[in-house]
Structure 1
Amino acid sequence: MKYEELAKEIVEKVGGEENINSLTHCITRLRFQLKDSGKADTQYLKNKDGIVTVMESGGQYQVVIGNHVPEVYDAVRKEAHMSDDSSSGSVSNNGLLFNRFIDLISGIFQPILGVLAAAGMIKGFAALFMAIGWISEESGTYQIMFAIGDALFYFFPIFLGLTAAKKFGSNQFIGMALGAALVYPTLVGAMALGNENATMLFSGTFFESETALTFLGIPVISMTYTQSVIPIVFSVFFASRLERFLKKVIPDVVKTFLVPFFTILIIVPLTFIIIGPISTWGANLIGSGALALYNFSPLFAGLLLGAFWQVFVIFGLHWGLVAIAINNISTSGFDIIIPLTFAASFAQTGIVLGMLLRTKNKQLKSLSIPAFISGIFGVTEPAIYGITLPRKKPFIYSCIVAGITGAMVGVAGTKMYFLGGLGIFGYTTFIGENGLDMAFWMSLIATGTALALGLIIGYLTHSDKKEAAIEKGTGAGETAKKEMVNDVLVESPVSGKIIDLTTIKDPVFSSLAMGKGIAIEPDNDVVVAPFNGVVESLFPTGHAIGLKSDNGAEILIHIGIDTVKLEGKYFKPLVTQGETVEIGQPIIEFDREAIALAGFDTVIPVVVTNTNLAKDVVLERNETIESGKHLLTVIL
């Protein structure tokens, strides 16, 4: 019952249960796939107690909760009447291809992340105890611990068969059956390389391969699929498509057993003959490409990935690199990506610790203590969203430190041999055949350096007085107010019918969360500058523009509702970000009729985004208006 009220508001403000396609969660955030993200009241959710922040990234609507996200996830599922199947069984068909890829990868790997980390930790401790001489490789203790940790990785295709089937909306037991076939001991032995009965295929080419088996006379390329990643994902993908087709053509009375029968009978041989070899070659190419980039300059790779890792985490884009890391382990036996980013969480945690030791602000202390504890165990979202990112500079400092320590790890050649725990539980993943070598010790040195540098920088740069000045309006807020030196007359950017902003079909604007303003149903296709000023922001899609007047008023002009989904179609910006504009100057052309035919509302909100710095915003009350005529006044 603890999170029932929060769950109820989350479901309501993301547009209701009917607007939710699927829901998953990672360590700190709920990841929604919404039918229409424009229906979500993002500003309300951001300001809600119990929610750290909200963002849209990777084709997902992400609500950052914190460490208690599993409990909130369960409450939201219950509130939205979501079954286990509906909570995560949907692949996004909307947005950019990259966003759809991130959504797919995170949907497949997130459900298994906890047990994957747990198995890796057990395997890591077994390696550590052997390296320091507590147990021997021949001892029963080591063998059982290693088996506990290694079993999941060995039978990885079965686990991924389950999660991939869930993501593709297929029968999960079919997915598991496909994975089990790939690691079936008899076939693993028969397809082992070096078989005395093997013959060669594609001799003298990149695809040269052994074959010791045939299926209906067709050679089966000898490959090992234990611990593999990509083959089972592609296998389940094709199985899901075949399953849907079979459900349409097979009579209901025999559908229960004939659909799985034909799906497994067709896809398993196809996987061994075609899907498995091709996807394995692709996986090897990805692994070789990542290693080639790393070998080009380990120092630069560490500097770049280390510095930007926390940025990737903010937007949930790190899943793309995690997938490559898991593939690297399955194809090469080790990964070089995760070690380069390992110290980033310690840099972030060190900054928070420094601020904690310096501040006397009770609120900051109350935020910093749990954020520090989470950070030590590798979960940095509480630190990022609650402390460093809102203050900007501490976050930048942490990225710089992470880049430096990432370069240290790169030069040392530290490798990760299996996926394990986060934070301090991740050290054992760097223990290879050579035991506790210099590459392993560098992971300790780098993280210790990151923590120490972060602590020092956080302690020396934080000032309670500066924060208090900002809160009282004598800092940045006061500077902003001083920029607004006169009342600002705003002319209409388009001609058309004036509409009350609170009545439009966009909760972000109609709730006045973005600020006071007015809406216009346009009757022309050109937006002009409403005053003399500068282009502060211009969306890449061209559907919205932010302007700042010479005397400080900030205006957002948003052409249409949800038109970001058009991805730039029908919009032609005539200015660039940072460009100075004069009143009446054309700044964006758009095709009003095409937008309407595409099914989008063409109403244009014109909003004063820094309303909080003004005494009032006085709106024009006419029914219609011409472009260039007085629309509203910002009163100081």
Structure 2
Amino acid sequence: MSQYKALADDIIRHVGGKDNVKSVFHCATRLRFKLKDEKKADPETLKQHDGVITVVQSGGQFQVVIGNNVPYVYQDVVAAGGFQTSSNEEEEKTGVFNRLIDVIAGIFTPILGPMAGSGLLKGLLAILVALGLLTQDMGTYIVLNAAADALFYFLPVILGHSAAKKFGGNPYIGMIIGGALVYPAIVAMQGAGETLTFLNLPVVLMSYASSVIPIILATYVSSKVETFFNKRTHEAVRNFTTPMMALLIVVPLTFLAIGPVATYASQGLANGYSFLYGLSPIVAIAFIGAFWQVLVMFGLHWGLVPIVINNLAVVGMDTIVVGVLMATFGQVGATLAITLKARDPKTKGLGTSSSIAGVFGITEPAIYGLTLPRKKPFVFGMIGGAAGGVVGGMLGTAAYAMGGLGVFSVPVMIPATGLDMTFYGALIGMVVATVVSFGLTYVLHKEVAPTETPRVESAPVLTDHVGTPVSSPVKGEVVALDTVRDEVFSSGAMGKGVAIMPSEGVVYAPFDGEVITIFQSKHAIGLRSDSGVEVLVHVGLDTVQLEGQHFEAHVENGQRVKAGDVLVTFDLEAITKAGYDTITPVIVTNTGNYLDVLPTHVGVVEPNHDVLRVLA
């Protein structure tokens, strides 16, 4: 019998029994239950169990924190309860709004990078035309414009893949449905004003190039049709009969009903936004400039992404992107002020690198490393973003394609008519956002000297070589563990340690030892040193939701490692763009076996520098 069988039975009993469990999966440290009725669970009794660290009820999940042994406990829980193993992507979210945000993020995240690249190329072409270096009838322009415009024209095909994958359908069926919407013969009929019928039913011909909502709804319907036929056809013929039936039903249905209704809805959404923007362009962009970073922190910005894309497809322009640009430079200005006022060279170093990253649209190091912990500078950054938004609204600045972040979004704000005040409004707004937030922070924020910082006094740094050292597994800035926005880590329930804001996407071995656990999602890794110290490195918060996307493991369970060996690499920028906090807790999970675990470093750290000492 497994050593965790008794623990698994107790957990099932105290979550209200197996009949109270909708689903269960695990991340690096926790069993995440979705319960039918959380009132039937007994979290207090579970917290007292020797095998349970704590219990957290959050986001509609009943989370039982186990620690490094969670994969083994999970196996016994699944076996004891007869549950289906499930990935977190299949987990039902609580509430319509949460499910909507999850769907939007899942559909649009994979294409944002290529979409930004295509938008930048369109912006570059606009600059070359404005400078007279190219004309629209030149072969060079035509070829480059094809490269820049292809993604937007064939957007239904690309979204068909990602939407079908998100809804659990066949991605290639989704692509075929998208391809049918922009099929040349039908596009030509629509352009010529001809009529079309299907089984004597009139088809409303509309332009679906660059459209968003029709293909998303069509792939959702297709996923349901596929499920229906997969359950009712023999596996010997299922591989071709299900796709045939899905296409036979969904493509005509899309042309007859889904497409026209969704297109009218798209136009209504765009017209509604245009109406609100028309009431007060200044207030609209200023609001985005002020609160965009807050929306990103809570993952709510995904709700605006399809509106941006829909505005570009229907209206040909968007102003939300302008507010995002101003919000970015608001935080850059506040970070620059902190950097200039700081007397600590480590803060200056972090401020310099964070300011540069912010200019290119990556504000997380600035926010989580500098402005947000100091509170006032973050607010001043919001005020600066709003001020820049006022300028953009006054001068009618807008984006005409989906571009990159930071300064990379500026080229897509050049209108077809060439450089004018609407474009210069973007540049002026950036300057205003930076100057306002810089001035407020520099004048009103008091930067505390390192020797005066209460946190350093309450967590003294060891300077002599006592205890077992644990080197930093990532490059970045060390912050106190209690600043992590997850009580399982910040409370010390998992063990003592530190947290690091990574500045590069590499996890290194912090000592000589072995890999205890490398999770399937690759976002966390458990290690044991040759002296017995067990350490968990957990990259980001809730990054288990990515299911391994943007992570690559270079080791496996049981493998011997040397200090400095590369364990995991991850795409820091992509994870940040996906809306996840990348702060990385480094926890000694068997803290109870030692006299104490003390931090040995604060501020910027390299992978070969010690961050913890474990005292026996």
3-state SS of 1:222 partner: coil
The Cα of 1:318 is off from its aligned counterpart by 0.9
The Cα of 1:274 is off from its aligned counterpart by 0.4
Match of 2:267 in 1: 284
3-state SS of 2:197 partner: strand
The Cα of 1:236 is off from its aligned counterpart by 0.2
3-state SS of 1:219 partner: strand
Match of 2:383 in 1: 400
Distance 1:397 1:429 in 2: 27
Distance 1:87 1:145 in 2: 44
Question: Within the alignment, does 1:97 sit opposite 2:93 as a pair?
Answer: no
3-state SS of 1:135 partner: coil
Match of 1:232 in 2: 215
Aligned residues between the structures = 406
The question of whether the paired residues in 2 share the 8 Å contact of 1:158 and 1:180 is answered with: yes
Distance 2:438 2:488 in 1: 42
Could you report, residue by residue, the CA deviation over 1:279-328 in whole angstroms, capped at 9, with x for unpaired residues? 11111111111111111111221222211111111111111112111111
Distance 2:318 2:31 in 1: 30
Match of 1:139 in 2: 138
Distance 1:98 1:173 in 2: 28
Distance 1:33 1:278 in 2: 42
Distance 1:33 1:183 in 2: 45
Distance 1:430 1:472 in 2: 44
Specify the code of the residue in structure 2 equivalent to 1:436.
L
Specify the code of the residue in structure 2 equivalent to 1:363.
K
Q: How does 1:116-265 map to 2 (within 5 A)?
A: 116-192=115-191, 195=193, 197=194, 212-265=195-248
Distance 2:27 2:146 in 1: 35
3-state SS of 1:356 partner: helix
The question of whether the paired residues in 1 share the 8 Å contact of 2:230 and 2:238 is answered with: yes
Specify the code of the residue in structure 1 equivalent to 2:136.
E
Distance 1:509 1:174, change over 3 A: same
Match of 2:299 in 1: 316
Match of 1:634 in 2: none
Q: 2:448 aligns with which of 465, 470, 473?
A: 465
Distance 2:208 2:86 in 1: 29
The Cα of 1:459 is off from its aligned counterpart by 3.2
Distance 1:102 1:325 in 2: 15
Q: 2:249 aligns with which of 266, 274, 282?
A: 266
Identity, % of aligned pairs?
40
Specify the code of the residue in structure 2 equivalent to 1:447.
M
Match of 1:422 in 2: 405
Distance 1:280 1:468, change over 3 A: farther
3-state SS of 2:203 partner: strand
In the superposition, the TM-score normalised over structure 2's length comes to 0.61
The Cα of 1:514 is off from its aligned counterpart by 11
The Cα of 1:466 is off from its aligned counterpart by 5.9
Specify the code of the residue in structure 1 equivalent to 2:189.
A
3-state SS of 1:241 partner: helix
Specify the code of the residue in structure 1 equivalent to 2:425.
M
Match of 1:492 in 2: none
Distance 1:153 1:350, change over 3 A: same
Distance 2:107 2:354 in 1: 28
Distance 1:226 1:509, change over 3 A: closer
Match of 2:54 in 1: none
3-state SS of 2:309 partner: helix
Distance 1:296 1:135, change over 3 A: same
The Cα of 1:93 is off from its aligned counterpart by 2.5
The question of whether the paired residues in 2 share the 8 Å contact of 1:335 and 1:417 is answered with: yes
Match of 1:299 in 2: 282
Specify the code of the residue in structure 2 equivalent to 1:140.
G
3-state SS of 2:237 partner: helix
Distance 1:131 1:33 in 2: 57
Match of 1:440 in 2: 423
The Cα of 1:330 is off from its aligned counterpart by 1.0
3-state SS of 2:202 partner: strand
Distance 1:365 1:332 in 2: 44
The question of whether the paired residues in 2 share the 8 Å contact of 1:90 and 1:168 is answered with: no
The question of whether the paired residues in 2 share the 8 Å contact of 1:162 and 1:176 is answered with: yes
The Cα of 1:35 is off from its aligned counterpart by 5.3
The Cα of 1:510 is off from its aligned counterpart by 9.5
Distance 1:452 1:158 in 2: 43
Could you report, residue by residue, the CA deviation over 1:537-591 in whole angstroms, capped at 9, with x for unpaired residues? xxxxxxxxxxxxxxxxxxxxxxxxxxxxxxxxxxxxxxxxxxxxxxxxxxxxxxx
The question of whether the paired residues in 2 share the 8 Å contact of 1:336 and 1:416 is answered with: yes
Could you report, residue by residue, the CA deviation over 1:516-539 in whole angstroms, capped at 9, with x for unpaired residues? xxxxxxxxxxxxxxxxxxxxxxxx
The question of whether the paired residues in 1 share the 8 Å contact of 2:392 and 2:426 is answered with: yes
Distance 1:464 1:342, change over 3 A: closer
Could you report, residue by residue, the CA deviation over 1:441-467 in whole angstroms, capped at 9, with x for unpaired residues? 100110022122333333334444366
Distance 2:58 2:131 in 1: 46
Match of 2:109 in 1: 110
Distance 2:372 2:87 in 1: 30
The Cα of 1:278 is off from its aligned counterpart by 0.6
Match of 2:342 in 1: 359
Could you report, residue by residue, the CA deviation over 1:229-274 in whole angstroms, capped at 9, with x for unpaired residues? 0000000000001100110001111001000010011100000000
3-state SS of 1:214 partner: strand
Which of the pair has the greater relative contact order for Cα pairs under 8 Å at 6+ separation? 2
In the superposition, the TM-score normalised over structure 1's length comes to 0.59
The Cα of 1:372 is off from its aligned counterpart by 1.4
Larger radius of gyration between Structure 1 and Structure 2: 1
3-state SS of 2:196 partner: strand
